Structure 1
């Protein structure tokens, strides 16, 4: 394997199950549900691992989000990220010996459904079914939906193929990241987005609930995955919400809106989009897992508003990490470029994600009542590891009493 400088790639999941993934779009419009599902699967010879970035438009969206010229970015992204695969088998058959607890995952600003595969695949390898939502609130760097072709177009029938497979009578529509307009106040936009994002997470859970009940679902994307195999496979009394950055705020908003989520994990949450008045209405346990370099006093102060004497609210900080230590980018760049682009911290990225994942699993076991061995990592919830800080490294200014 060589040392970590030369070996780039998303680390394989460590749990006992092989991991499959498939894409699901129900209702072709922008109001529908779109997510990548990760699940325990059968070991299979045939299945391929999908490309980390599904098609060119996502790279265009990332370029726009990062304010790089698209044609310039094509060369950079192809060079840096063109050959990477996700550590899961596309459309592999579902297989689990027991009912799977469920996690809904929400991505950060400028991300999309595939960029957190190291986290989602790890959870699936440990027996979870994970739906990584692609948000349609214009906070993803790119996403797509379909509109109906005009009748004149439909008659022709031989439409040009786009880079992702479009059903026959539908036209693919791309939606890119919307930057703040000149002079626009940020809070109203972000608050509106976080509410839509929470609704999209709840909708994903509703769709999984239908699938679990054996309702016939029509996946617009026509993948070979057999959705009927998921009937009665999910333990919907054991459901959690998780997200990174804007997705961390989304997790908190979703906990407030939907009591079916029994707990939440917020990775380096960006608290700005949330209304303060929702904090007292969140009744479920929350675990804040922070990076060392991203947080600041105002943001931590808002996390602290969620502290409770009766509901478990935990916070740890992973030493040597940056905000981008949670998405997959951190594994795919060498040290020099990684540090230059703030995609890598001082800590080995595999160690950082491993600590985050194990702490998450311990927290989920505790609050979903799982009968697994994840409690072996309970100490991590309290920051008891040389690479962890209990609470935060940010100094909160105490007013003189």
Structure 2
């Protein structure tokens, strides 16, 4: 069972509102601890991670979207759905549905509105959301109804499964729809705070919409956060809506921004922006491209910088942080929750990550909490309940150092000869994908070689994958089957391969299949994908003089969660180094 580090237990409830802009999602909040005891062992208490079979069905559709319909694929899809349903139900989260608000929580609670990535859901970032709730935040994780969720439960109970991104025009429309849903989500929270009636507003697990959060939210402390597609969504949102005081974009897929977004030109707000980009997505691939969208990322960072004077000043500055060894999946629940249950087998197959997934999500959450504490005007009582500073036990830095040291001398065991180099699955997966899983490429497109050689992606290509394994190579094998300029069938943008068929998609089933099996070159070293020359140096190779002096680190750590700044400042780089440890930071820079 996953347990949070904050002093509060975590409660949750589902929320939906059917007003002018319908919205649905899950609210995470600091709660009264559940009663202990009972006949169940502790690992079976709490709540299931996956709470409806529709989500397992949606995951199957997301991963097999636009792959040829045949008996083989039908069987594979059904097996995946069954496995996802069983594993998701068995995985427990230390959260209580419908629990009362924590008695010791501040009277007014800061707010975070969260946007999931492509193929994500309201609960697929439950670790980060529940960690924030355990530190005194109320988090509303929106489940987007634009078709980018693997499955979404709409207000009224209707289900919508993943239906692709469509062509570039349709994709931009989806981003605008997502931004509108995020604004509607904040209006729902405002209504809950004021006890107002909103059409169709309902909470689950017996929570009363009129009294549950009445008078308990601090609407002057509202932040937006999101991953991948959601990272671009919240950046577009924060660039234009002053209700959001700051924003945290986790490995954003910048291609999702609509062209006229203020996030690409000049923020019209003063919101500081934190971009936590993965090592993989921020390392140039063989074609000197960043999977996140490097050119757009530079535009976003420049658009966020402070400009103007006095009342005309806009932009709060930005920080770009890349955690060493991180991948696109570092931020979602899948690897931390499920990656260690078959650890020995994954290690033998070469599928282990260079960055421990549990440590990765701790480092990410610590960076988020630090940024929120700096750039939200938190009150003294709101700061007093937070205990995320590493010296107080939130971080697993010492444990992971010990584990790295042990791994360096550990024997690979008697069967290690079966898994040389990249590992057996890594070795055969390119051939399997090219010859068995992937559809034949359109006429005139050279297919990838069985040895893993990649073709240059077309303009705008990238892997906006919020749940499966993303890589620095973006679309890689998937570009043979379709990009923003056409779908898997090779049909023109915005059209299906035949009348009434699913629309051409910029993210094809081929790319989903590649994400499912390790095939691409990774920047971050030992990883669910193949090793690379860009791998992170061993900790022992980092000279002590490259690290902050112990006294300076202690001083900077002692100052966290004590001050507020309206803008990102240059000194925050050293603060982050002190907080996370330089050995875990691949890149950190600010635009101030």
Structures share fold, TM-score greater than 0.5: yes
* Alpha-carbon distance, 1:225 to partner: 1.8
1:89 is matched with which residue: 78, 96, 111? 96
Shift of the 221–313 alpha-carbon distance from structure 1 to 2, 3 Å rule, reads closer
* Alpha-carbon distance, 1:201 to partner: 0.8
Query: Which residue of the partner structure matches residue 177 of structure 1?
Result: 162
Query: Does structure 1 conserve the Cα–Cα contact (< 8 Å) formed by 2:325 and 2:355?
Result: yes
Query: Does structure 1 conserve the Cα–Cα contact (< 8 Å) formed by 2:16 and 2:155?
Result: no
**Number of residue pairs matched by the alignment:** 354
Q: What is the root-mean-square deviation in Å for CA atoms of aligned residues? A: 2.8
Query: Which residue of the partner structure matches residue 226 of structure 1?
Result: 208
Shift of the 339–99 alpha-carbon distance from structure 1 to 2, 3 Å rule, reads farther
Distance 1:225 1:15 in 2: 23
Query: Does structure 2 conserve the Cα–Cα contact (< 8 Å) formed by 1:106 and 1:132?
Result: yes
Query: Which residue of the partner structure matches residue 153 of structure 1?
Result: none
Query: Does structure 2 conserve the Cα–Cα contact (< 8 Å) formed by 1:19 and 1:124?
Result: yes
Shift of the 212–389 alpha-carbon distance from structure 1 to 2, 3 Å rule, reads same
Query: Which residue of the partner structure matches residue 235 of structure 2?
Result: 252
Distance 1:362 1:231 in 2: 28
Distance 1:214 1:80 in 2: 38
Query: Does structure 1 conserve the Cα–Cα contact (< 8 Å) formed by 2:48 and 2:88?
Result: no
Shift of the 336–74 alpha-carbon distance from structure 1 to 2, 3 Å rule, reads farther
Shift of the 117–79 alpha-carbon distance from structure 1 to 2, 3 Å rule, reads same
TM-score, normalised with respect to structure 2: 0.56
* Alpha-carbon distance, 1:98 to partner: 2.9
1:204 pairs with 2:185? yes
* Alpha-carbon distance, 1:276 to partner: 4.3
Query: Which residue of the partner structure matches residue 307 of structure 1?
Result: 301
Distance 1:316 1:337 in 2: 32
Distance 1:343 1:119 in 2: 23
Distance 1:386 1:359 in 2: 15
* Alpha-carbon distance, 1:229 to partner: 3.1
Distance 2:320 2:154 in 1: 37
2:171 is matched with which residue: 176, 186, 190? 190
User: Secondary structure of the residue that 1:104 maps to in structure 2?
Assistant: strand
Query: Which residue of the partner structure matches residue 349 of structure 1?
Result: 357
Distance 2:107 2:145 in 1: 33
Unaligned runs of 5+ in 2: 39-44, 65-72, 307-315, 390-558, 562-571
Moved more, 343-352 or 204-213: 343-352
User: Secondary structure of the residue that 1:305 maps to in structure 2?
Assistant: helix
* Alpha-carbon distance, 1:27 to partner: 1.8
Query: Which residue of the partner structure matches residue 389 of structure 1?
Result: 586
Shift of the 43–135 alpha-carbon distance from structure 1 to 2, 3 Å rule, reads same
Spell out, residue by residue over 1:162-190, the C-alpha distance to the aligned partner (whole angstroms, 9 max, x if none).
Answer: xxxxxxxxxx422111125xxx63x2122
Shift of the 342–21 alpha-carbon distance from structure 1 to 2, 3 Å rule, reads farther
* Alpha-carbon distance, 1:78 to partner: 4.1
Query: Does structure 1 conserve the Cα–Cα contact (< 8 Å) formed by 2:27 and 2:138?
Result: yes
Spell out, residue by residue over 1:10-64, the C-alpha distance to the aligned partner (whole angstroms, 9 max, x if none).
Answer: x4211111111110111289x4210100001112318963221111111010011
Distance 1:342 1:301 in 2: 33
Query: Does structure 2 conserve the Cα–Cα contact (< 8 Å) formed by 1:321 and 1:344?
Result: no
User: Secondary structure of the residue that 1:257 maps to in structure 2?
Assistant: coil
Structure of higher CA gyration radius: 2
Matches within 5 A, 1:324-363: 324-331=329-336, 332-333=338-339, 334-335=342-343, 345-363=353-371
Query: Which residue of the partner structure matches residue 294 of structure 1?
Result: 281
* Alpha-carbon distance, 1:321 to partner: 1.5
Spell out, residue by residue over 1:183-218, the C-alpha distance to the aligned partner (whole angstroms, 9 max, x if none).
Answer: x63x21221111111111111100100110121455
Shift of the 222–128 alpha-carbon distance from structure 1 to 2, 3 Å rule, reads closer
Query: Which residue of the partner structure matches residue 239 of structure 1?
Result: 222
Query: Does structure 1 conserve the Cα–Cα contact (< 8 Å) formed by 2:119 and 2:162?
Result: yes
Query: Which residue of the partner structure matches residue 100 of structure 1?
Result: 109
TM-score, normalised with respect to structure 1: 0.80
Spell out, residue by residue over 1:91-120, the C-alpha distance to the aligned partner (whole angstroms, 9 max, x if none).
Answer: 101122331110000000011101101000
Distance 2:560 2:351 in 1: 30
Query: Does structure 2 conserve the Cα–Cα contact (< 8 Å) formed by 1:330 and 1:338?
Result: no
Spell out, residue by residue over 1:305-343, the C-alpha distance to the aligned partner (whole angstroms, 9 max, x if none).
Answer: 123442320011111121111110012133477689999
Query: Which residue of the partner structure matches residue 376 of structure 1?
Result: 560
Distance 1:26 1:98 in 2: 25
Query: Relative to total residues, which structure has the larger strand share, 1 or 2?
Result: 1
Query: Does structure 1 conserve the Cα–Cα contact (< 8 Å) formed by 2:123 and 2:141?
Result: yes
Spell out, residue by residue over 1:210-237, the C-alpha distance to the aligned partner (whole angstroms, 9 max, x if none).
Answer: 1101214554465312331311111101
1:76 pairs with 2:101? no
Query: Does structure 2 conserve the Cα–Cα contact (< 8 Å) formed by 1:355 and 1:380?
Result: no
* Alpha-carbon distance, 1:271 to partner: 0.3
